[in-house]
């Protein structure tokens, strides 16, 4: 005799296993000249002994954004986010062993001059040298880095990586770390001024021990996300072939 499956008013099978919903954050910061992601070490299973993204279960009365902000503030003391946006959702049935868990991930950015207090089981890791990670979290980190690199090309998202005021040499360092290729400070200055992303502060900083002229400082004209050139791409510098 054929079996039948009843459905709920929303169209899902009433006999399906319960599904949990978690929120995760890819929190990125340029630290010591490299793009780093915030991870915490799992002491308990599943996937004990691996590193994972901060986050947790969605509260019954919480929205997605408020939930990840709360969990970042409570668990890893990240209150200095300059940007937070939804990244993607993942719901493969086997992404977490033993139960069905749908994940909504976020991309969060911390400015380079911030130093959030972290608990002992949490640390920054270079995105180019990730440790062994739990579940599908490495793929989520890669998606976050890709999103950041893409948006640096056509928006003013650099404001979220840099301090409020910076020299062009400093800003080029943040872009270099985030994009993963060389960035010339003079060319970056020309591009961002033409796109009206940055403006001079009218202040300078003293030269270092090597001497030279005082360096002018700049700031982003807006510290919220704006599209400034929808079709732009910040390409790596061209290389000249070596003579034969």
Which pLDDT band holds residue 182 (cuts at 50, 70, 90)? very high
Checking if the pLDDT of 117 tops 80, the result is: yes
What percent of the chain stands above pLDDT 90? 70
Judge if 104 and 76 occupy the same domain. yes
Could you list the residue range(s) of the whole structural domain that residue 105 is in?
19-148
DSSP H helical segments within the chain, as ranges? 64-75, 137-154, 168-179, 185-194
- How many domains, the chain? 2
Give the span between the Cα atoms of 98 and 140, in whole angstroms. 21
**Can you give the pTM of this predicted structure?**
0.88
Is 99 among the domain residues?
yes
**Residue 61 and residue 159 in one domain:** no
* DSSP code per residue over 47-88: STTSEE-SEEEPPTT--HHHHHHHHHHHHS-----SEEEEEE
């Amino acid at each position: 005799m054929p079996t039948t499956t009843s459905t709920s008013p929303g169209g899902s099978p009433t006999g399906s296993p319960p599904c949990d919903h978690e929120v995760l954050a890819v929190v990125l910061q340029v630290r010591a000249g490299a793009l780093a992601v915030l991870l915490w070490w799992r002491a308990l299973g599943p996937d004990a002994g691996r590193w994972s993204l901060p986050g947790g279960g969605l509260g019954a009365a919480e929205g997605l954004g408020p939930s990840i902000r709360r969990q970042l503030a409570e668990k890893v003391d990240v209150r200095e986010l300059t940007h937070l946006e939804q990244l993607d959702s993942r719901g493969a049935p086997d992404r977490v062993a033993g139960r069905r868990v749908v994940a909504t991930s976020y991309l969060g950015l911390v400015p380079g001059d911030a130093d959030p207090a972290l608990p002992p089981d949490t640390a920054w890791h270079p995105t180019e040298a990730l440790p062994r990670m739990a579940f599908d979290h490495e793929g989520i980190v890669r998606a976050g880095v890709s999103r950041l690199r893409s948006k640096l090309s056509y928006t003013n998202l650099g404001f979220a990586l840099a301090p409020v005021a910076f020299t062009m040499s400093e800003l080029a360092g943040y872009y270099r770390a985030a994009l993963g290729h060389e960035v010339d400070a003079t060319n970056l200055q020309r591009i961002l001024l033409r796109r009206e992303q940055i403006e001079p502060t009218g202040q300078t900083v003293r030269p270092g021990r090597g001497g030279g002229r005082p360096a002018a400082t700049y700031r982003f004209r807006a510290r919220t996300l704006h599209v400034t050139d929808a079709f732009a791409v910040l390409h790596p510098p061209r290389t000249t072939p070596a003579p034969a």
